[in-house]
Amino acid sequence: MYLENGRDIFRGTLLLIFTAIAFWVDLTVGLVLISLMGVMILQSAFTNWCPADLFLRPMGLKPKQESEAKKPESVLHANIR
């Protein structure tokens, strides 16, 4: 799994948790959390850094382009066929 996949899993999980908070706990708090998450996703799109990277990278996840650059050339050609 790549770092980008880990970010998507993390975002999806947080979105479901914040939606549940908005529904069952408090609408205002849930909407504020969802709004903050949206701001962080926009920030991530421009800077290519996400706060989730602080714990996803130590778990061993690497960015997609970094992982593909380290593969031997024969492996890259095998994926094309």
Q: Is the per-residue pLDDT at 74 higher than 80?
A: no
Residue by residue, DSSP assigns 37-76 as HHHHHHHHHHHS--TTHHHHTTTT---HHHHHHTS-HHHH
Q: Is 44 left (phi over 0), alpha (psi -120 to 50) or beta?
A: alpha
Radius of gyration of the CA atoms of the chain, in A: 17
Using 50, 70 and 90 to split pLDDT, how confident is the model at 46? very high
Residue-wise pLDDT for 2-22, tens only, equals 999 999 999 999 999 999 999
Q: Confirm if 10 and 52 have CB atoms less than 8 A apart.
A: yes
